[in-house]
């Protein structure tokens, strides 16, 4: 830290001294799975209490309405939790955005509900890395920077949504509004690798539900009068799988529906995820999906409804993003931390923010690993380490870097 100014050193030391582990333990004890509305409300209340330490206007925003196709092929409304939204000094000359999520992938009835120590400084638990540890890092960094005399030079918004793990359908509009006019954004997903490597470019992501409606008939007496929706859905899955190529992943993940064995099934729902590398691949994939649907509908004499779409735009590494990554890397160097980045196959709210033209580093959270599994872990030393990195980055952005 010899290269730091006295004000930078003070901010870094304050950020690293916060009691982040206590927060992570308390937050991880609450199940906040994306569909657990009661747990999300409890989590939101705790986050409001914690983030009330920052100035500005703090509120819980209602989720936007979201519709989805259920297992019976019906369009239904899906409920989501409220989103924390903090606005600080909105008229300051430099505006930044900080985002995170309070939801996890672990449902209320999932067996993975408690934290435990795997070894000294390695904590296993639901959401400890993704991303309750990241939320603690964000708060510590912002709290440290708020105490500098020149804090009034910059303003910011904080958005902590309740639906990131299911694609942010109820918060996408809020994220887009919050991104407007921002110089840069930091998102607190865990590091891409346990060594602290950041995620650079990301593909886009689209989730589709294809509702296939055929015609029922007796499976023994007159099957030729039926139109098998299950076979049509399987045919469509195989056709979509042939779209897979460099720059586009295709994952047919589930077929629902069917009928008793003596009935030709007249309903099936095929669910597919596609991940295009860039906007041109996404546009081509949209056309190819439509063509495959038309071909199956015509050849099998069924009706196919398309629900869903590309909710996460591709996130290429632009020149502006590279400049922001360079700022984070220099902050790391000045703190004695080795910072690198590499492309990632995952997606997050960083995709949505980048699509608004705002450079974003979206893996400013903790070091850890095995996220989305009962083996998820947090390297506890990284709480102070990443809070210091974030605080120094924010301070330099606030000073016009």
Q: Which domain holds residue 357?
A: 6-67+78-202+315-398
13 with 104, same domain: the answer is: yes
Residue 72 lies in a domain: no
294 with 352, same domain: the answer is: no
18 with 106, same domain: the answer is: yes
Pairing mode, strands 205-213 and 360-361: unpaired
242 with 192, same domain: the answer is: no
60 with 10, same domain: the answer is: yes
124 with 41, same domain: the answer is: yes
156 with 243, same domain: the answer is: no
100 with 237, same domain: the answer is: no
Residue 120 lies in a domain: yes
pLDDT recorded at residue 150: 83
pLDDT recorded at residue 1: 61
Among residues 295, 312, 329, the one where a domain terminates is: 312
List the helix and strand counts (H, then E) for the chain: 10, 18
100 with 173, same domain: the answer is: yes
pLDDT recorded at residue 326: 98
Among residues 256, 280, 312, the one where a domain terminates is: 312
CATH of the domain at 221: 3.30.70.360
pLDDT recorded at residue 261: 97
Residue 95 lies in a domain: yes
97 with 220, same domain: the answer is: no
pLDDT recorded at residue 401: 76
Residue 73 lies in a domain: no
Pick from 349, 337, 323, 342: nearest CA to 386: 337
Per-residue DSSP letter, 160: E
pLDDT recorded at residue 3: 82
52 with 157, same domain: the answer is: yes
Among residues 258, 281, 312, the one where a domain terminates is: 312
CATH of the domain at 37: 3.40.630.10
Per-residue pLDDT of the chain (401 residues; tens, 9 = 90+): 668 998 999 999 999 998 999 999 999 999 999 999 999 999 999 999 999 999 999 999 999 999 999 999 999 999 999 999 999 999 999 999 999 999 999 999 999 999 999 999 999 999 999 999 999 999 999 999 999 988 999 999 999 999 999 999 999 999 999 999 999 999 999 999 999 999 999 999 999 999 999 999 999 999 999 999 999 999 999 999 999 999 999 999 999 999 999 999 999 999 999 999 999 999 999 999 999 999 999 999 999 999 999 999 999 999 999 999 999 999 999 999 999 999 999 999 999 999 999 999 999 999 999 999 999 999 999 999 999 999 999 999 999 87
Residue 43 lies in a domain: yes
Give exposure, 98-109, as e/b (b: 16+ Cβ within 10 Å). Answer: bbbbbbbbbeee
Residue 335 lies in a domain: yes
For the chain, how many structural domains are there in total?
2
Taking the C-alpha atoms of residue 27 and residue 38, their distance in angstroms, rounded to an integer, is: 14
Strands (E), 91-204: 94-101, 116-119, 122-124, 154-161, 184-187, 198-199
Helix orientation angle between 20-28 and 381-398, rounded to the nearest 10 degrees: 110
pLDDT recorded at residue 235: 98
pTM tops 0.85 = yes
Residue 1 lies in a domain: no
263 with 308, same domain: the answer is: yes
Residue 123 lies in a domain: yes
| Beta bridge partner(s), residue 361 | 186
């Amino acid at each position: 830290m010899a290269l730091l100014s006295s004000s930078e050193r003070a901010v870094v030391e304050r950020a690293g001294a916060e009691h982040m582990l206590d927060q992570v333990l308390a937050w991880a004890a609450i199940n906040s799975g994306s569909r657990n509305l009661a747990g999300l409300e409890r989590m939101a209340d705790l986050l409001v209490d914690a983030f009330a330490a920052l100035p500005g206007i703090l509120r819980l925003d209602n989720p936007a309405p979201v519709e989805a196709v259920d297992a019976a092929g019906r369009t239904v409304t899906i409920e989501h939790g409220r989103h924390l939204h903090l606005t600080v000094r909105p008229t300051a000359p430099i505006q930044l955005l900080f985002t995170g999520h309070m939801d996890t992938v672990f449902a209320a009835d999932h067996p993975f509900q408690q934290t435990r120590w795997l070894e000294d400084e390695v904590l296993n638990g639901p959401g400890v890395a993704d991303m309750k540890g990241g939320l603690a890092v964000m708060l510590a960094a912002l709290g440290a920077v708020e105490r500098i005399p020149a804090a009034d030079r910059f303003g910011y918004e904080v958005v902590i949504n309740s639906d990131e793990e299911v694609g942010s359908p109820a918060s996408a509009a809020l994220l887009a509004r919050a991104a407007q006019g921002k110089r840069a954004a930091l998102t607190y997903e865990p590091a891409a690798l346990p060594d602290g490597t950041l995620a650079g470019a990301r593909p886009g992501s689209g989730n589709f539900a294809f509702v296939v409606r055929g015609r029922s008939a007796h499976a023994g007496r007159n099957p030729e009068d039926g139109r098998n929706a299950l076979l049509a859905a399987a045919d469509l899955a195989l056709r979509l799988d042939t779209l897979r190529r460099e720059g586009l992943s295709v994952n047919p993940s589930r077929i629902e529906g069917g009928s008793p064995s003596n009935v030709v099934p007249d309903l099936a729902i095929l669910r597919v995820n596609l991940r295009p590398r860039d906007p041109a691949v996404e546009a081509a994939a949209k056309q190819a999906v439509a063509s495959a649907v038309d071909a199956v509908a015509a050849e099998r004499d069924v009706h196919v409804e398309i629900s869903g779409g590309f909710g996460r735009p591709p996130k290429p590494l632009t020149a502006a993003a590279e400049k922001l990554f360079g700022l984070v890397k220099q902050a790391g160097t000045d703190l004695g931390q080795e910072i690198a980045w590499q492309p990632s196959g995952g997606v997050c709210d960083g995709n949505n923010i980048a699509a608004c033209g705002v450079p974003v580093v979206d893996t400013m959270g903790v070091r850890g690993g095995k996220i989305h599994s009962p083996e998820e872990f947090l390297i506890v030393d990284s709480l102070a380490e990443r809070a210091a990195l974030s605080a120094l980055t924010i301070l330099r952005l606030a000073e016009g870097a």
